[in-house]
Structure 1
Amino acid sequence: MIHNIIKDKPTKLFIFLGGFFIANAIIAEVIGVKIFSLEETLGWTKSSFALLGEDGLSFDLTVGVLPWPIVFIMTDIINEYYGVRGVRFLSVLTAILIAFAFLVFFLSIHTAPAGWWQVSQQSKGVPDMQAAYHQILGQGMNIILASLTAFLVGQLADATVFRRIKKLTGEKNIWMRATLSTLISQLVDTVVVSYIYLYFSMGFSFPRVTAIVLVGYTYKFTVAILCTPLIYLIHNLIEKYLGHQQAADMKAAALRDA
């Protein structure tokens, strides 16, 4: 049985794409507790501007945004060849695995640390390893509900918009359905996670959260446009791997998928 699965190109491709999809989603959740300065990372002068009455704003973003473009690219590719049900299956599976990962983090944080380990990195500027461990892995638990909700809603929005555009345009204009579906899903994802976490949970003012959403979405919007050539590259690689006829049959079946 396993030999048939391994030999089947569409199955292997689904596992490969799904693996990247899940891995990048979990990585984004784990590393997302760090906030970085986009301008300073690129060697630019740090900006400071006002938006909706909030002063001192700049492009300070969670590092979780770095792998997210890969997730949305994988979403569009999977939708192209495996349909909405393929995206829905991987999205639900990913949400379950993210929740499982944070459950494991929670349990690991609450194990009793060995005394020697807790002070083992003092010479490197970490006086309390247990506190550092809790701060890094435990901080993400504050936003897990917001993040998982935003992830599922964003993914389903991406899959739905992608499919509807493809029904209207057919096989042409890959850039249109890939870019527009990503832009809409990124907006949904950003709005949902920001307002649930920052506004309802953290008590930030509505103008400030809205300003943060606009700044974050501007970055995601730009990245989505820049990733368009990558979509075409991956499509071409998959077409060569599957063969034109099999790829065409899979895309036709995916379009018929409810």
Structure 2
Amino acid sequence: MTIKDKLAAQQIYFILGGLFITSLVVSNLIFQKFFYWYPFHIELFGTKLFEISVGILPYPITFLITDLISEIYGKKRANQIVVMGIFASLFSLSIVFVSNAVPATNWSPVGDSMFSTVFGNTAVAVFASMLAYLFAQFIDIHIYHFWKRITKGKYLWIRNNFSTFSSQFIDTLTILLLLCSFEIIEWNRFTGLLVSGFIFKAFIAACDTPFLYLGVYLFRKRFNLRLNDEIKLL
């Protein structure tokens, strides 16, 4: 690759990293709103299935991006993005903490009570999310490269889906255990939210496979990459 190509590849890597961090931070900030995403009312152990947090909406994007980076830039760069996400989460947590601590004026459109209601549990959410995120993302990257090695770079759909299904279940289980332990969510909703969250994430993971194929195809065409080639950044 020429220097120009490597600079272009590095710029795309930074863009993907920005999308990854934005999706991760936003999912932590909006998690307290829940919605019903399926037209049929199904109950499991007294809990309605498919009632899930809106924080789950941007989260699958992070796994698509890490899979794409793993495929094109390699395991080291994918892990680097994960670590960057941790620092971004901690930084956003500190901003929210300070913002919640300072008193609102009497004319502020958003008062202390409303702000605390929306963002007061953000610290716990970020803590829970970071632990779940650490487990899930590193497992996702590890399993992805395990299947890439086993299949010798073929069958992209296998490593994309197998890695994401496993990591998404671990992510959903971990974050719900922590949120229920901190009494942000009632324990009687645990099973329904676990099943709903995993099914939703697995569904999105299956749907994003064509987008991963498209992304890999565009990268290989743009940078003349052969099967199993990875871009080494400057």
TM-score by length of 2: 0.89
> How far did residue 5 of structure 1 move?
8.5
Q: Structure 1: which 5+ runs fail to align?
A: 121-127
Counterpart amino acid of residue 123 in structure 2: M
1:219 and 2:200 correspond? yes
> How far did residue 14 of structure 1 move?
1.5
- 2:153 corresponding residue in structure 1: 171
CA distance in 2, matches of 1:19, 1:161: 24
Structure number with greater Rg is 1
- 2:167 corresponding residue in structure 1: 185
CA distance in 2, matches of 1:204, 1:32: 15
> How far did residue 163 of structure 1 move?
0.4
Q: Which SS does the other structure have where 1:115 is aligned? A: coil
- 1:124 corresponding residue in structure 2: none
Q: Which SS does the other structure have where 1:96 is aligned? A: helix
Q: Considering fraction of residues, name the structure with more helix.
A: 1
For the aligned residue pairs, the C-alpha RMSD in angstroms reads 2.3
> How far did residue 71 of structure 1 move?
0.6
Q: Structure 2: which 5+ runs fail to align?
A: none
What pairs with 1:2-81 in structure 2 (closer than 5 Å)? Answer: 8-39=7-38, 44-45=39-40, 47-50=41-44, 54-81=45-72
Count matched residues.
230
Counterpart amino acid of residue 174 in structure 1: L
Q: Which SS does the other structure have where 2:154 is aligned? A: coil
CA distance in 2, matches of 1:98, 1:185: 19
CA distance in 1, matches of 2:228, 2:49: 45
CA contact (8 A) 2:128 2:175 kept: yes
Which consecutive aligned stretches of 4+ in structure 1 deviate over 3 angstroms post-superposition? Answer: 4-7
CA contact (8 A) 2:47 2:192 kept: no
- 2:213 corresponding residue in structure 1: 232
Q: Which SS does the other structure have where 2:116 is aligned? A: helix
Per mean C-alpha deviation after superposition, the further-off stretch among 158-167 and 210-219 is 210-219
CA contact (8 A) 1:36 1:62 kept: yes
> How far did residue 104 of structure 1 move?
0.6
CA distance in 2, matches of 1:59, 1:141: 25
CA distance in 2, matches of 1:243, 1:12: 17
CA contact (8 A) 1:87 1:155 kept: no
1:250 and 2:230 correspond? yes
Q: Which has the higher contact order (CA 8 A, sep 6+)?
A: 2
TM-score by length of 1: 0.81
- 1:123 corresponding residue in structure 2: none
> How far did residue 248 of structure 1 move?
5.2
